[in-house]
């Protein structure tokens, strides 16, 4: 396993269950490199046949104090700056945010199956988007798009509902109650969403296309919509990374060390949900990123939250940019929905990592 | 196309003009078969009026249509008065008896049967077997692949409902109208290219669909054809935005004004689209999403919109 040997620095845990690995510079650099490679590929490759050297010249031209004639037409310049670059940027933001949210949920719930949609965010966003598509059809609310707004509100409302139900169950103030509440809320909202969708079959393709996730109409508008939330969510979660490592011991032990597990959990869940809601609002439901990226990092590099959380952002971003590149190249000039490719490529890759790694998912 | 018009049925089509316009003319046509036959040889009169008389005896008188296109066809072939219920998207022609909640998408056998129909027209065979078990005759009229399919379906519906002749006339006048439109088109030596937008996530159609074939009749070249060469997307691929930009179509037709609030201004304002020649020249045309997606008699209107657009562009 050469890949593993690249990163493997066996660190003996001080006590069972506690992982003390720190984020090391080589891993960090690998993550940055992955993003750089994915970005470069995303800018250079696409269905439009544009000479790669000219693309590089065009990029160079934008560097201050350098002036190069790229020889690209106005349309080709638009393809680089208004289609490919925002698409790469949005893919990176969505991928990083979803992977980080997944990693955070897995940490606070100590459940390897947790994903960003666990607490009903996907179902809530789906309901919000469906309502927006159904009611907005034909109204023509100008250029203002209701879909991302209602998807965002729907996702946050669903998580809030899950939280209220999970923690008002009285007897069990445990993460398990919250998970079960999430399942209930998600099923309920999905039922409502399906009902509305079936009542308005003329919009079914739009709803379906939203559910499969989309980056193909990415623009800078969407990037600027998501960026503040993605940034805020990442900062909040990363601040908590050490505390989350301590909480791996269990709530009781963490409390004895002066940590308030309920509060930390609330903060992290809020931050992760905010990021997920914003990502889902602009890109629809892109599955699997939130599970496979954090686990791949755990298996290849290390399981402590100080490693998993920041690296999930980097590798999540690179992964989605790369997958999106496949989505627009494989059937070029037709598109393959990105949600299909994340699962199609992600699942086999993950199985390989799972089988070949000796590390635990702990 | 004009050749067809000169056939032995020419007299009929002259008497019952524009039967494809499924308004009051359709019911007139069935109500007064004698008048239509007036100009013909007496020997033919008996034969011709035969099917019309039989309407009350053997032909269906309680038709339920669960396909908006089939509804348009039924009215066009003169079977409108025999239709008792249509699905909630069959809002054309306006006199069609729409039943709120009667779904063609998610058909419910029991609610269909409650109308006690003697013929049900579907666009797919989903509940065909179930209805036939109840002893109800079913006709399936799936999406047409080309214009011939359209004519075949209309003729078949005419035959089935005892309106063979009106249906024949409807087809003939449709063919005549189409022939006239095409004859009026100025074909340019260098074919103009077009992009047909189904929704704002850039789904389109290829020339293998009946929609694409209407465009092809006007001499336009489809930019979406390379996106579904193997037909894996059934002729309805989703295009990459950068591919559309690179293809730089001369004309853009958008059928997503109703669904997705798209317009000349929203399309022109899309990031990166400003340099497209269709945008710079204002060659962006709205298509009615029903007219440009139903393979019925209103294909003539569809073709006319496209040919008008081509004429506008050629004049610029």
User: Per CB distance under 8 Å, which residues of B are interface residues toward A?
Assistant: 89, 103, 105-106, 198-203, 226-228, 232-233, 237-243, 245-246, 248, 258-261, 263, 265-266, 269-276
Q: Do B240 and A76 touch (CB under 8 A)?
A: no
Q: Do A334 and B237 touch (CB under 8 A)?
A: yes
C-alpha B22/C-alpha B72 separation (Å) is 7
Contact A81, A297 (CB under 8 A): no
Which of A323, A298, A312, A360 has the alpha carbon at shortest distance from A101? Answer: A312
Contact B177, B171 (CB under 8 A): no
Residues in chain B closer than 8 A to A43 (CB atoms): none
Vertex A198, ends A195 and A199: CA angle to 5°?
Answer: 85
Q: Is the pTM of this model over 0.90?
A: no
Give residues with Cβ within 8 angstroms of B43, minimum separation 6: none
C-alpha B245/C-alpha B264 separation (Å) is 16
What local confidence, expressed as pLDDT, does residue B41 receive?
A: 42
How far is the CA of B130 from the CAs of A35, A219, B68, B110, B141, in angstroms?
56, 48, 21, 10, 17
Residue A141: pLDDT over 50? no
Residue B172: pLDDT over 90? yes
What local confidence, expressed as pLDDT, does residue B42 receive?
A: 43
What local confidence, expressed as pLDDT, does residue A249 receive?
A: 81
Q: Do B227 and A333 touch (CB under 8 A)?
A: yes
**Would you place residue A360 in the very low, low, confident or very high pLDDT band (cuts 50, 70, 90)?**
low
Of A83, A198, A203, the CB nearest to B241: A83
What local confidence, expressed as pLDDT, does residue A169 receive?
A: 61
Q: Do B266 and A86 touch (CB under 8 A)?
A: no
What local confidence, expressed as pLDDT, does residue A226 receive?
A: 92
Report all structural domains of chain B as residue ranges with CATH numbers, in order of start.
2-180 (3.40.50.1980), 188-315 (3.40.50.1980)
Residue A259: pLDDT over 90? no
**Would you place residue B32 in the very low, low, confident or very high pLDDT band (cuts 50, 70, 90)?**
very low
**Would you place residue A117 in the very low, low, confident or very high pLDDT band (cuts 50, 70, 90)?**
confident
Q: DSSP character for B62?
A: S
Q: How far is B280 from chain A (nearest CA, A)?
A: 12
Fold (CATH) for A21-356: ABC transporter involved in vitamin B12 uptake, BtuC (1.10.3470)
C-alpha A331/C-alpha A339 separation (Å) is 15
**Would you place residue A211 in the very low, low, confident or very high pLDDT band (cuts 50, 70, 90)?**
confident
Residue A19: pLDDT over 60? no
**Would you place residue A5 in the very low, low, confident or very high pLDDT band (cuts 50, 70, 90)?**
very low
β pairing state of B251-254 and B193-197:
parallel
Average pLDDT over chain B, rounded to whole? Answer: 82
Contact A283, A50 (CB under 8 A): no
More confident residue, A332 or B12: A332
ipTM above 0.85, yes or no: no
SS3 category, B258: helix
CB pairs under 8 A between A and B: 117
Residue A142: pLDDT over 70? no
Residue B14: pLDDT over 50? no
More confident residue, A14 or B199: B199
Is A273 buried (19+), middle (13-18) or exposed (0-12) by CB count in 10 A? buried
């Amino acid at each position: 396993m050469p890949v593993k040997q690249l990163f493997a620095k066996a660190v003996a845990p001080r006590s069972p269950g506690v992982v003390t690995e720190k984020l090391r510079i080589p891993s960090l650099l690998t993550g940055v490199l992955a993003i750089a490679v994915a970005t470069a590929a995303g800018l250079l490759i696409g269905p439009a046949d544009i000479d790669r050297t000219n693309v590089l010249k065009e990029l160079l031209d934008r560097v201050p104090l350098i002036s190069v004639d790229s020889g690209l037409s106005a349309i080709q310049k638009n393809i680089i700056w208004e289609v490919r670059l925002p698409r790469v940027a949005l893919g990176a933001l969505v991928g990083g945010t979803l992977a980080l949210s997944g990693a955070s949920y897995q940490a606070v719930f100590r459940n390897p199956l947790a994903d960003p949609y666990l607490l009903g965010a996907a179902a809530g966003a789906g309901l919000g988007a469906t309502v927006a598509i159904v009611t907005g059809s034909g109204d023509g609310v100008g250029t203002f798009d209701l879909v991302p707004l209602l998807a965002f509100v729907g996702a946050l409302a669903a998580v809030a509902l899950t939280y209220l139900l999970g923690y008002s169950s009285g007897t069990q103030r445990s993460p398990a109650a919250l998970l079960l509440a999430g399942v209930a809320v998600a099923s309920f909202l999905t039922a409502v969403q399906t009902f509305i969708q079936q009542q308005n079959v003329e919009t079914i393709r739009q709803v379906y296309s939203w559910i499969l996730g989309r980056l193909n109409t990415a623009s800078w508008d969407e990037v600027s919509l998501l960026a503040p939330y993605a940034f805020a969510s990442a900062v909040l979660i990363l601040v908590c990374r050490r505390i989350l490592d301590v909480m791996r011991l269990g709530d009781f032990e963490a409390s004895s060390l002066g940590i308030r597990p309920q509060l930390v959990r609330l903060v992290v869940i809020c931050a992760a949900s905010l990021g997920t809601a914003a990502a889902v609002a602009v890109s629809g439901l892109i599955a699997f990123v939130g599970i496979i990226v954090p686990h791949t990092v755990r298996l290849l590099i290390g399981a402590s939250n100080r490693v998993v959380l920041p690296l999930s952002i980097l590798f999540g971003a690179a992964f989605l940019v790369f997958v999106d590149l496949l989505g627009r190249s494989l059937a070029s000039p037709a598109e393959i929905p990105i949600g299909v490719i994340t699962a199609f490529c992600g699942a086999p890759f993950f199985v390989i990592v799972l089988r070949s790694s000796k590390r635990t998912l702990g | 196309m004009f050749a067809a018009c000169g056939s032995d049925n020419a007299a009929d089509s002259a008497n019952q003009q524009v039967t494809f316009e499924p308004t009051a003319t359709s019911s007139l046509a069935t109500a007064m078969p004698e008048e239509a036959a007036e100009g013909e040889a007496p020997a033919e009169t008996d034969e011709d009026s035969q099917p019309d008389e039989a309407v009350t005896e053997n032909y269906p008188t309680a038709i339920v249509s669960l396909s908006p296109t089939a509804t348009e066809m039924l009215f066009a072939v003169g079977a409108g008065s025999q239709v008792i219920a249509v699905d909630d998207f069959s809002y054309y022609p306006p006199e069609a008896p729409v039943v709120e909640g009667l779904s063609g998408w998610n058909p419910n056998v029991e609610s269909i049967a409650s109308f006690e129909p003697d013929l049900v027209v579907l666009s797919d065979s989903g509940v065909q077997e179930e209805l036939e078990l109840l002893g109800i005759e079913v006709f399936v009229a799936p999406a047409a692949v080309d214009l011939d399919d359209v004519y075949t379906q209309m003729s078949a519906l005419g035959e089935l409902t005892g309106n063979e002749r009106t249906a024949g006339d409807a087809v003939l006048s449709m063919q005549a109208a189409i022939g006239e439109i095409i004859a009026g088109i100025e074909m340019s030596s260098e074919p103009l290219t077009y992009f047909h937008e189904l929704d704002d996530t850039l789904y389109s159609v290829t020339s293998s669909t009946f929609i694409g074939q209407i465009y092809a009749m006007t001499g336009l070249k489809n930019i979406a054809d390379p996106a579904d060469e193997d037909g894996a997307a059934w002729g309805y691929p989703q295009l990459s935005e950068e591919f559309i930009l690179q293809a730089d179509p001369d004309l853009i037709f958008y059928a997503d004004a109703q669904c997705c609030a798209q317009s000349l201004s929203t399309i022109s304002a899309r990031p990166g689209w400003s340099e497209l020649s269709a945008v710079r020249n204002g060659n962006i045309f709205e298509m009615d999403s029903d007219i440009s997606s139903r393979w019925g008699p209103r294909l003539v209107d569809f073709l006319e919109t496209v040919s008008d657009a081509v004429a506008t562009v050629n004049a610029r």
